[in-house]
Amino acid sequence: MAVLPKKDVVIIGYGAGAGPVSTELALAGYDVVVLERGPYRTTAEDFAKGALDTLRWNTRGEFLPPLQDVPLTFRTDLNQEAVPTNYIMANTVGGASVHWSGQSWRFYVEDFRVKTTLEQLYGPEKLEYLREDGANIQDWPISYEDVEPYYEKVEYYIGVGGWPGNIQGQIRPVNPDDGNPYEAPRQRDYPFRPLRDNATDLTFREGALKLGLKPFHVPTAITTEPWTSGYGVQRAACTYCTFCTSFGCWNGSKSSSLVALLPVAEATGNFEIRPNSHVLRINHTGDRAVSVEYIDLVTGEVHIQPGEIFILGAYTFQNVRLLLYSGITSNGLVGKYFINRAGPSVSAIFEDRYLNGYNGPAVQRQGVDDFNGENNAEEKLQLPDDQFFVRGAFIGSPSQRTPLETYNAVPPDVPRWGAEYKRYLSDNLNRYIGLQLLAEPIPYETSYIDLDPNYTDRFGVPAARVQRQVKQNEIRMARYIFEKGKAILEAAGAAKVWGRDTPVASATMTHDCGGLRMGHDPSMSVTNRYCQMWQVPNIFVTGGALFPTMSGHNPTETIWMLSFWLADAIKDNKVNIYNSEDFRS
């Protein structure tokens, strides 16, 4: 077991979360090393020569986690034993930012203060059912105004395109060339435009407009024109090939830590990434991390990497598991308040048109935010008490409907095999829409990640165990959002609409957040507002694990934003790595 030379910054895992902070610190002269358990796949070698292969990347999931190294177990019922499960993340340099869809949002102003917003809008009586269900909703320790410049930095330095909906408080009208009128005010327009509309989008938009909703094309972290980032990285325009979600982009158009940030960090000369490096534990003295122990998965050798600052950059499950296995529990708060998606589904076919959903990346979509966050608070207040719910969902119209990805998307009255099934797919596969209904989950006391008592990985480290429930709020929201999605498709002229109006809890719905919640109060959170652990001040956290609450929007832009925010906190000496502080003033 070799002890390696000490580094200023040791980063565990390289995905969306680790990208900005590692690049910014390397540019600032810090000596940075990244330990990433996945292999170093590149656009030129791995994606340009074999990306358009749905079986390889999607069905067989070449990126998916090797369960013998990073096992996960799952249960909903705390009285049952958890069982091993697959889940979605990407085992590769760049992590899930390599195989993601590229739907890239700023959170709403209210998303950073959900607790306060709900209390103001609805009062304690209306919210009693949430307390009964053990909801634990907290405001973030940061405001939208605090972090707006860092959202802008993501858009201009990593690459996000969109139509603006609200520039400096001026709300744009509903128009194909305008954006989400509900979006939080932005100081600057996007650096380029989002993907164009396709037949599926035009159809969805038609239905939404008929209902008086405010459809817009979603912001997309995919370059739609030859573009040079704030760092000087040159990117090519998307060609709409469709091999997008679950794929690495052959053209480098989809923004990721791999294509947008890693080349900048590597060019500094004081940044090193070690792929195939699986971190086993953090060695610490109780309130100070000293080194990490990791195994080189190629040679089998175990190394000790000492450092001054340690940054968790792995996926939520692994960040939590590593802390717990290393004996860092923050008084039992590490792993608490896990949140991920559990929503309904709505699908439809059209008889009067083909949609050809096989052309168009998944994120080429129109959507509406009329039912997201508290945008529909007045309507919700009119619901009977047993149907009332808080928060909401974005509803959108994804594409990327190739046969291998869509052959199971048949209505319940159609058999799953045989001549009738074959006829159905022949007639309808290219007339299919399946909506995205991005329901916001609520953090509960009983939704958490811990170490599994029965299952270990091949190194003897316990598996991460996830407990996750759906409760009244999710059930009520699912029914409501299902009806809204159905109405949009019917208004658009769908011949047949079907779906599921109940949420299903699972460890495989992506957007796995919470577990290392940030906050102002050390007795209720794991990190302070600068992502610094209260218990061990030289450990910093990146990724969705920091989120106290979710949003009805995809999390990646906020993960990148928090990482830029963290980088400045370290560079500008806002934090003391010997003493974590409460920065409320």
Partner 1 sequence: MPELVTTRQVGRHMSLDRRTFLKGSAGAMALLVVQTAYERDALAQDPLSEGFRFFNPVQAETVAAIAERLWPTTDDSPGAIEAGVVHYIDHSLNGPYARYRLTYIQGLKWIDAVSQEQYGAPFRNLEPEQQDAILTGIEAGEIVRPQAGQEDGATGDQTLSSSYLDGLDGETARQIAGISPPATPDLRSFFNVIRTHTMEGLFADPIYGGNRNFAGWRAVGYPGPYYVYTEEEQQSFEPLNKPFQSIADL
Rounded to an integer, what distance in angstroms lies between the CA atom of residue 55 and that of residue 134? 42
Cβ contact 71:84 at 8 Å: yes
C-beta of 514: minimal distance to partner 1 in Å? 24
Q: Does 354 bind partner 1 (CB under 8 A)?
A: yes
Nearer to partner 1, 202 or 487 (CB): 202
C-beta of 241: minimal distance to partner 1 in Å? 5
In the 8-state DSSP scheme, what is residue 229?
Answer: -
In the 8-state DSSP scheme, what is residue 480?
Answer: H
Q: Which position has the token pair 């959002």? A: 481
Taking contact as CB under 8 A, which single stretch among the options 221-229, 238-246, 320-328, 475-483 is the one that binds partner 1?
A: 238-246
C-beta of 353: minimal distance to partner 1 in Å? 4
Q: Does 243 bind partner 1 (CB under 8 A)?
A: yes
Work out which of 3, 29, 86, 298 binds partner 1, going by CB under 8 A: 86
Q: Does 430 bind partner 1 (CB under 8 A)?
A: yes
Q: Does 506 bind partner 1 (CB under 8 A)?
A: no
Neighbours of 458 (CB within 10 A): 11
Work out which of 198, 375, 447, 525 binds partner 1, going by CB under 8 A: 198
Closest CA to 365 of 194, 133, 510: 194
Q: Does 458 bind partner 1 (CB under 8 A)?
A: yes
C-beta of 427: minimal distance to partner 1 in Å? 9
In sequence order, which residues have a C-beta less than 8 Å from that of residue 261 and are 6 or more positions away?
19, 20, 22, 23, 158, 231
C-beta of 453: minimal distance to partner 1 in Å? 10
In the 8-state DSSP scheme, what is residue 69?
Answer: T
Cβ contact 363:195 at 8 Å: yes
Q: Does 297 bind partner 1 (CB under 8 A)?
A: no
Q: Does 463 bind partner 1 (CB under 8 A)?
A: yes
Cβ contact 493:199 at 8 Å: no
In the 8-state DSSP scheme, what is residue 546?
Answer: G
Q: Which position has the token pair 């950059």? A: 313
Q: Assign 5 to helix, strand or coil.
A: coil
Q: Does 353 bind partner 1 (CB under 8 A)?
A: yes
Nearer to partner 1, 68 or 116 (CB): 68
Tell me the backbone φ, ψ of residue 316, rounded to 5 degrees.
-45, -50
Q: Does 404 bind partner 1 (CB under 8 A)?
A: yes
Taking contact as CB under 8 A, which single stretch among the options 145-153, 260-268, 327-335, 423-431 is the one that binds partner 1?
A: 423-431
Kindly compute the dihedral angle of the four CA atoms of residues 300, 304, 308, 313, in this order, to the nearest 10 degrees. 30
Rounded to an integer, what distance in angstroms lies between the CA atom of residue 247 and that of residue 483? 32
Rounded to an integer, what distance in angstroms lies between the CA atom of residue 526 and that of residue 580? 11
Work out which of 422, 521, 576, 584 binds partner 1, going by CB under 8 A: 422
Q: Does 3 bind partner 1 (CB under 8 A)?
A: no
Q: Does 230 bind partner 1 (CB under 8 A)?
A: no
Taking contact as CB under 8 A, which single stretch among the options 15-23, 325-333, 413-421, 514-522 is the one that binds partner 1?
A: 413-421
C-beta of 366: minimal distance to partner 1 in Å? 13
CA dihedral sign of residues 164, 166, 172, 174: positive
C-beta of 264: minimal distance to partner 1 in Å? 27
In sequence order, which residues have a C-beta less than 8 Å from that of residue 56 and are 6 or more positions away?
50, 62
Work out which of 417, 523, 572, 579 binds partner 1, going by CB under 8 A: 417
Work out which of 3, 29, 45, 52 binds partner 1, going by CB under 8 A: 52
Rounded to an integer, what distance in angstroms lies between the CA atom of residue 454 and that of residue 244? 37
C-beta of 126: minimal distance to partner 1 in Å? 40
Neighbours of 423 (CB within 10 A): 11
The residue count for binding partner 1 (CB under 8 A) is: 56
Q: Does 202 bind partner 1 (CB under 8 A)?
A: yes
Neighbours of 79 (CB within 10 A): 5
Cβ contact 433:489 at 8 Å: yes
Work out which of 120, 175, 234, 239 binds partner 1, going by CB under 8 A: 239
Q: Does 84 bind partner 1 (CB under 8 A)?
A: yes
Site for partner 1 in 438-457 (CB under 8 A): 454-457
Closest CA to 466 of 88, 82, 68, 67: 82
C-beta of 433: minimal distance to partner 1 in Å? 13
Q: What does the binding site for partner 1 look like in residue numbers (CB under 8 A)? A: 50, 52-55, 59-60, 64, 66-68, 71, 83-86, 196-199, 202, 239-243, 250, 353-356, 358-360, 364, 402-404, 407, 416-419, 421-423, 425-426, 429-430, 454-458, 463
